[in-house]
Amino acid sequence: MGKIGVPDATLLKPGPLDAEEWALIEKHSVWGADLVALVPGPERVALVVRHHHERFDGGGYPDGLAAEAIPLASRILAVCDAWKAMTSDRAYRRALEPAAAVEELAGGRGSQFDPDAVKALLAEIGAIAGSPRAETNASCPPPSGVRSQPAP
């Protein structure tokens, strides 16, 4: 939502962003929170939007929050947003295959992402062996080494 404040030239740039462009991108979560806060009622949602780019290890933005100091809904949104970003075409790269996105999320557990939020999303998309959806979710094939069985 806050990306409406970022110029298209930055959002659609086919190559790496420079420092000034990154500074604009890093403001989008604050701009999005400010927009949500204009609507009476969803003040708590504004905090979720504001903090969805915080990192579990404290290296994120805009406030450098870490672990449980990041609102739970923001930690969940961060993982979902990353999944959507990785599995969508971007101006600077093609979408990752679902199995590659699973590996990226798994690799970010405990550093970029809340480990429990990653585990929950991977279970939901059926990427964890033994999860209820692992056998039935064809939209996200399990990563290598995870055996999928047909649904009964």
- Set out the domains of the chain in order of their start, with CATH numbers: 1-50 (no CATH), 55-138 (1.10.3210.10)
pTM above 0.85, yes or no: no
**What letter does residue 54 receive in the DSSP assignment?**
-
pLDDT bracket for residue 148 (50, 70, 90): very low
pLDDT bracket for residue 40 (50, 70, 90): confident
pLDDT bracket for residue 138 (50, 70, 90): very low
Contact 111, 119 (CB under 8 A): no
Return the H-helix or E-strand segment holding 63. none
For 85-127, how does the pLDDT look when each residue is reduced to its tens digit (9 = 90+)?
A: 999 999 889 999 999 999 999 999 999 999 999 999 999 988 6
For 74-94, how does the pLDDT look when each residue is reduced to its tens digit (9 = 90+)?
A: 999 999 999 999 999 998 899
pLDDT at 151 over 60: no
Nearest to 135 by CA among 121, 146, 119, 120: 146
Give the 3-state secondary structure of 96-141. Answer: CCHHHHHHHHHHCECCCECHHHHHHHHHHCCCCCCCCCCCCCCCCC
